[in-house]
A and B are shown apart, each in its own frame.
Chain A
Amino acid sequence: MSAMRIFTGVIGRDLRLALRHGADTLGAALFFVLTGALFPLALGPSPELLARMAPGVIWVCALLAALLPLDRLFGAEQEDGSLDQLMLLGLPPSLIGLAKMTAHWLTTGLPVLLASIPMAIMLGLPAATLPVLLAGLLPGTLVLSLAGGMAASVVLGARRGGVLLPLLVLPLITPALIFGAAAVDSARSGLNWVPDLELLWAFLAGALPLCPLAAGAGLRAATE
Chain B
Amino acid sequence: MLLTGPNGAGKSTLLRTLAGLRRPDGGRILWDDEDMTEDRTAHGRRIGWLGHQDALKPGLTLLENLRLSANGAKPEAALRAFDLDSLADLPARMLSAGQKRRSALARVLLADAPLWLLDEPSVGLDQVSVGQLGVAMAAHRAQGGIVIATTHVPLPLAGAIPFSLAGSPADSPAETGEYVA
> Which A residues are closer than 8 A to B by beta carbons?
1, 5-6, 9-10, 13, 16-17, 20-21, 80-82, 84-85, 87-93, 223-224
A17 touches B57 (CB 8 A): yes
A16 to B45, CA, bound (A): 24
* Most chain B Cβ neighbours within 10 Å, of A9, A16, A85, A90: A85
Q: How far is the CB of A200 from chain B (nearest CB, A)?
A: 33
A20 to B60, CA, bound (A): 8
Task: Tell whether B77 is near chain A: CB-to-CB under 8 Å.
Answer: no
Residue of B nearest to A84 (CB): B51
Does more than half of chain A's interface fall in helix, strand or loop, or is it mixed? helix
Determine which of A16, A81, A90 lies in contact with B60 in the assembled complex, contact meaning CB atoms within 8 Å: A16
A90 to B72, CA, bound (A): 14
CB contact under 8 A between A9 and B60, given known A224-B21, A224-B23 = no
CB contact under 8 A between A13 and B68, given known A20-B59, A20-B60 = yes
A88 touches B44 (CB 8 A): yes
B64 touches A9 (CB 8 A): no
Does more than half of chain B's interface fall in helix, strand or loop, or is it mixed? loop
A92 touches B55 (CB 8 A): no
A90 to B46, CA, bound (A): 8
1/0 contact string of B18-37 vs chain A (CB within 8 Å): 01111100000000000000
Determine which of A89, A223, A224 lies in contact with B68 in the assembled complex, contact meaning CB atoms within 8 Å: A89
Residue of B nearest to A20 (CB): B59
Q: How far is the CB of B1 from chain A (nearest CB, A)?
A: 19
Determine which of A17, A21, A85, A224 lies in contact with B69 in the assembled complex, contact meaning CB atoms within 8 Å: A85
B47 touches A80 (CB 8 A): no
A81 touches B68 (CB 8 A): no
Determine which of B53, B55, B68, B107 lies in contact with A9 in the assembled complex, contact meaning CB atoms within 8 Å: B68
A10 to B71, CA, bound (A): 11
A88 touches B23 (CB 8 A): no
Task: Tell whether B56 is near chain A: CB-to-CB under 8 Å.
Answer: yes
Q: How far is the CB of A60 from chain B (nearest CB, A)?
A: 31
Determine which of B52, B60, B72, B107 lies in contact with A1 in the assembled complex, contact meaning CB atoms within 8 Å: B72
Task: Tell whether B49 is near chain A: CB-to-CB under 8 Å.
Answer: yes
CB contact under 8 A between A81 and B21, given known A1-B45, A1-B72 = no
Task: Tell whether B141 is near chain A: CB-to-CB under 8 Å.
Answer: no
Q: Which residues of A contact B41 (CB under 8 A)?
A: 90-93
Task: Tell whether B42 is near chain A: CB-to-CB under 8 Å.
Answer: yes
B71 touches A9 (CB 8 A): yes
Considering only residues 2-25 of chain B, those with a C-beta below 8 Å from chain A are 16, 19-23
Task: Tell whether B54 is near chain A: CB-to-CB under 8 Å.
Answer: yes
Residue of B nearest to A90 (CB): B45
Q: Which residues of B contact A82 (CB under 8 A)?
A: 55, 57
Contacts A6-B71, A17-B59, A89-B45 aside, 14 further interface pairs with beta carbons under 8 A come to: A9-B71, A13-B67, A13-B68, A16-B60, A80-B56, A81-B55, A84-B55, A85-B51, A85-B55, A88-B21, A88-B44, A89-B69, A93-B41, A224-B23
A168 to B60, CA, bound (A): 32
A85 to B51, CA, bound (A): 9
* Most chain A Cβ neighbours within 10 Å, of B20, B53, B60: B53
Q: Which residues of B contact A20 (CB under 8 A)?
A: 59-60
Q: Could you show 21 A-B contacts with beta carbons less than 8 Å apart?
A: A5-B71, A6-B71, A9-B67, A13-B60, A17-B59, A20-B59, A82-B57, A84-B51, A84-B55, A85-B51, A85-B107, A88-B19, A88-B21, A88-B44, A88-B47, A89-B45, A89-B71, A90-B41, A90-B45, A91-B44, A223-B22
A218 to B144, CA, bound (A): 35
Q: Which residues of A contact B45 (CB under 8 A)?
A: 1, 88-90
Q: How far is the CB of A148 from chain B (nearest CB, A)?
A: 21
Residue of A nearest to B41 (CB): A92
